[in-house]
Amino acid sequence: MKYYSSRVKIMGAILSLLFAMVIALPAGPAESRAVEKISGQETQFPSFADLAERLKPAVVNIFTTKVVKGRSIQRFFHPFEEKGGPFEDFFERYKQFFGETPEQEQEFRQRSLGSGFIIEPQGFILTNNHVIENAEEIKVRLANEKEYDAEVVGKDPATDIALIKVKTDEDLPTVSLGDSDSLRVGEWVLAVGNPFGYGHTVTAGIVSALGRTIGAGPYDDFIQTDASINPGNSGGPLFNVHGEVVGLNTAIVASGQGIGFATPINKATVLLPQLKKGEVTRGWLGVGIQEVSSELAQKFGLEEKMGALVSEVFPGEPADKAGVERGDIILEISGKPVKDIKALLYIVAALPVGQKVDLKVWRDGKTLSLNVMVDKRPEERKLATRRWEAPQKQEEEEAIGMTVAEITPEMAKRMDLPPNEGVIVKDVDPQSPAGKAGIQRGDVILEINRSPVVDMKSYRDAMEKSAKADSLLILMRRGASSRYVVIKKEA
């Protein structure tokens, strides 16, 4: 019994010593890391506590007010308006004459929430354009609860980026801007913002995807993340683990969970000098473009799909003056390769207005170099709305499943078409080769296998010339734009 008691005392002493050693160990950093073995390797998972504490002072909550006009329904009540009362007759006649619920146009003050982040000590703040658009009053609140009035310095609706500035004489805390081009799928990211008015909320996740297109505009190129983003987060920063801003939280999928989108910060840094000047200008070549599919690449003699296919050249614009032709495939601009139309849009947008650039195009199996003077991209190009009515003569139905007809001078005038250009598609079988290729009623056929179509005769000649081909390269116009499609003939 004494032996057992001695062993217990010894074990107790050892445990006490071990516990004391653990207590005496130096404390680790606040940004601790839990370690877990995965496939034999140690993987570290970060704690964002220190990072969040360091970054929050430079993240701001934005509150805006704007006046909107609307119609309100106003009901009139009177203390004597009661059933069977002495004034019942009067009010019944009033309702019949004026109506029971007259509408009145009124002005309403609409309040909105958003987020932003300070990029310069003088109070320059980046946010989304939709956060401050049409705002008559902008208030900015910092993490220390200080509030400032702010004004818009510059904005760019095309990329939904805006620069505002608070009115202050003191230096404010700032964030560091990172490089969104170096992001990789799977990286940790941290979002800080003002969701639903709950100021300075921190959420974490990973980069789920890069280069996402969500239909927001011509410059779609979003970072997808599963870090929670909600209404009010718009304009707030998306940080990497180094505490650098890599994106502006911009959009969510309302019906989804864990799907948020951020504008890459490199988009904003490129625009910053122009935003500070109050105006954003972009380069303009004056061409209509479309993606080069594998089928189109084969038809145009390219070994692989690359570049951007010119489906239309606008008369009198820079590309037209430089000799660019419809059917050219733009491969390079100023030495920068054009992988697809998204790359072309970004390269052209960044070109300085008034500068000459070298354009490398693929035409008829050869590479040509052209010199183009960059113009300023129009803010809004008004395109004619075209209506079509089916002609009653000179119709011709093809085995590919569409019926075409001559375009009369009256139709050409009404549709704002140049004279002697194309034949019109009167009808299409959706299950036919033409229907599967995307041809629709009202489209105008301009070319068949690079042969121009100006009337029914040239259409028939082109179809006859291509009778033995297993597919047709069609240039067609729809509305105000042109594009190429490939129609595969059925065996």
Residue with tokens 């004489």: 169
Rounded Cα gap, residues 348 and 40, in angstroms: 48
Rounded Cα gap, residues 370 and 310, in angstroms: 14
Establish whether 160 is a catalytic residue. Answer: yes
CA angle, corner 322, sides to 316 and 323, nearest 5?
90
Active-site pick, 112, 115, 156, 160: 160
Establish whether 234 is a catalytic residue. Answer: yes
CA angle, corner 457, sides to 454 and 461, nearest 5?
100
Nearest to 202, CA basis, from 361, 328, 47? 47
Give the side-chain half-sphere CA count within 13 A for 362. Answer: 22
Active-site pick, 47, 50, 130, 334: 130
Nearest to 246, CA basis, from 290, 300, 196, 192? 192
Nearest to 127, CA basis, from 146, 102, 104, 152? 152
Can you give the three-state secondary structure of 403-448, one letter per residue? Answer: EEECCCHHHHHHCCCCCCCCEEEEEECCCCHHHHCCCCCCCEEEEE
**Residues forming beta bridges with residue 490, ordered by sequence position:** none
Residue 41 phi, psi dihedral angles, 5° rounding: -115, 145
CB under 8 Å to 43, separation ≥6 — which residues? 35, 36, 37
Give the side-chain half-sphere CA count within 13 A for 335. Answer: 0
What is the identity of the amino acid at 278? Answer: G
DSSP-assigned letter for residue 346? H
The beta strand positions in 272-387, using DSSP E, are 283-284, 287-291, 308-313, 329-333, 336-337, 356-363, 366-373, 375-376
Residues in the chain: 491
Active-site pick, 234, 311, 466, 482: 234
From first CA to last CA, the distance across the chain in angstroms is 98
What is the identity of the amino acid at 219? Answer: Y
Q: Which sequence positions are flagged as catalytic?
A: 130, 160, 234
